[in-house]
Amino acid sequence: MSKKLTIGLFGFGVVGQGLYDIIRTKNLNIEIVKICIKDGSKKRTLPSHLFTTDKNELLNNPEINTIVELINDTEAAFEIVSRALSTGKNVVSASKKMIALHLNELIELQHNYGTSLLYEGAVCGSIPIIRNLEEYYDNELLHSICGIFNGSSNYILSKGFIENLDYDSALKQAQDLGFAETDPTMDVGGFDAKFKLVIAAAHAYGVVVKPEEVFNLGIQSLSAYDLQYAREKNLKIKLVPVAKELDDRHVALFVLPKFVNETEFLYNVEYEYNGVIVQAAFADQQFFFGKGAGGHPTGSAVLSDIAALRYDYQYEYKKAKEKKDLNFTNDIEINIYLRYVDDDLVEALEFEHIHERYYSGSYKFVIGKINLQKLIDNQSRILEDKAFIAFADQLAGVSLAPAKKQTAEVF
C-alpha cells in the first residue's frame, strides 16, 4: 500500500486550482492540509480554515509530509522549496524559472537530505517529458530535443496565422485564459521556453547550463511581413527551443523562432498545445504532443508527480553524475532569416554566407549562415532594431536530413 500524502500547497492560482479540482474528483489517499496564499483578502471557493498567509504554518507542520509549490515568485519559491527539502519534506514544483536558475543547488539539497523534488509540471505542461528523458532514454544516445515549449507564444502565433488576430489581442486572450506568465515577456521573449529547455537538457544530457548563457530570442518583433513571407512559402513560424549534441564533447542550446513546413511535426501544433521532438540514435525520431499550459493540463502533471512520491520516486540525475566530457557551447553555425531596419546590423552580424538578400520599401531581409555567438554579441542591437530572426534551414536550401556535426540543422 502506498503511503498517505499530506500536502501543504503553496499558491492557489490557475494551476493550484486545477490541481485541487483533479484531486477532489479522485480517491487517491492524498489530503490537502493547508493552502498558503499571498492575498488573504481575496474571496475563495473553499472553506477559509484551509487557507493561511503564513508559510510557516505549512513548513513547520509535522503533519505535512509533502509540499506542492505553485507560486509565481521565483526567489520566494526557492526559499520554500529549499526549506522543505532540507527539513525532510518531499516537494513537487512547477516553477520552471526557479528550477532552471537553481538546479545545481536543488540537486545538492536532494542529495544531502535524501528528499525528492519532482517537476514534470514545470516543462511542457501535461507532456511527460522529464521522466521519459530521465528514465526511458537512459541508454539511448540523444542527438537532439526540440519543440514548442511555450503555450502562450504558440497561442499568439496560431491566432495570428489561422484567425488573423492581431498580436496584442491574442496576447490578451492568452492572459485571460491563464496561459501567460505574470510578465508576458517571459513567454513571447523565449525566456520561459529557455528555462524549460535548460531543465530538459539536464535530464537528457546531464549538462546543467546557466540560463543566462543560453541565447533566446522570441516572437516580440514578429511583423505582418514575416507572416506574409511564411504564408507565401507555405511555412508557419513557431518558437522553438533546441538542445543538440554536436559531437561527443559538445552540446548546444538556444531558443529562436523557426520556419516549419508541413512535413514537420511542429507544423500542426497549434494554440496552447506543446510538442517535443526527440531525435535518438536507435529509436530515431519521436514526437510527444499535448497541452502545454492551463490549470487542468498542468495540474495533471503535478498530480502525476504527487502520485510518484507515494512510492518515493526520485530523479537520480544519472547522466549528470556520470557526466563524461560533455560541455555546453555556443559555437555553432545556423541558417537564419533576418528581417531588419538598420543595414549596419547586417554588417555587425558578419554573415558567413548570404543565400538571399531582399529589400522593397520598408521590408528588408537577408537569409544566410551565421555563428550563434554573433547573435549573442549583438542581442541588444537586434532588439533595438526590432529585427525578427527565425531559424531557416528550408530557406537556405539545406536538406531536412538529420544533423551533421557542428551545425544546428536539427530535423
Q: By the criterion CB under 6 A, which residues form the site for ligand HSE?
A: 125, 150-152, 179-181, 187, 192, 292-293
Compute the 3-state secondary structure of the chain and give helix, strand, coil in percent, each to the nearest 5.
Answer: 40, 25, 35
What single letter denotes the amino acid at residue 105?
E
3-class SS of residue 160: helix
Residue in 131, 59, 118 with CA at minimum distance from that of residue 91: 118
3-class SS of residue 75: helix
Give residues with Cβ within 8 angstroms of 59, minimum separation 6. 8, 67, 80, 83, 84, 87, 89
CB of 153 to ligand HSE, least distance (A): 7
Helices (H), 224-265: 224-232
Active site residue 196: yes
CB of 280 to ligand HSE, least distance (A): 25
Q: 293 or 346: whose CB is closer to ligand HSE?
A: 293
CB of 214 to ligand HSE, least distance (A): 17
CB of 192 to ligand HSE, least distance (A): 5
Q: 150 or 220: whose CB is closer to ligand HSE?
A: 150
Q: Cell numbers 521522466 correspond to what residue? A: 131
Cβ atoms 379, 215 nearer than 8 A: yes
Residue 278 half-sphere exposure toward CB, CA atoms < 13 A: 25
Q: What is the DSSP string of 341-383?
A: S-HHHHHHHT-SEEEEEEEETTEEEEEEEEEHHHHHHTHHHHH
Q: Pick the catalytic residue: 55, 89, 159, 196?
A: 196
Q: Cell numbers 529589400 correspond to what residue? A: 359
Q: 229 or 273: whose CB is closer to ligand HSE?
A: 273
3-class SS of residue 339: strand
Q: 294 or 368: whose CB is closer to ligand HSE?
A: 294
Cα separations in angstroms, 57 against 31, 36, 64, 153, 378: 16, 8, 10, 37, 48
Q: 198 or 367: whose CB is closer to ligand HSE?
A: 198
CB of 68 to ligand HSE, least distance (A): 16
Q: 5 or 222: whose CB is closer to ligand HSE?
A: 222
CB of 152 to ligand HSE, least distance (A): 3
List, by residue number, the catalytic residues: 196
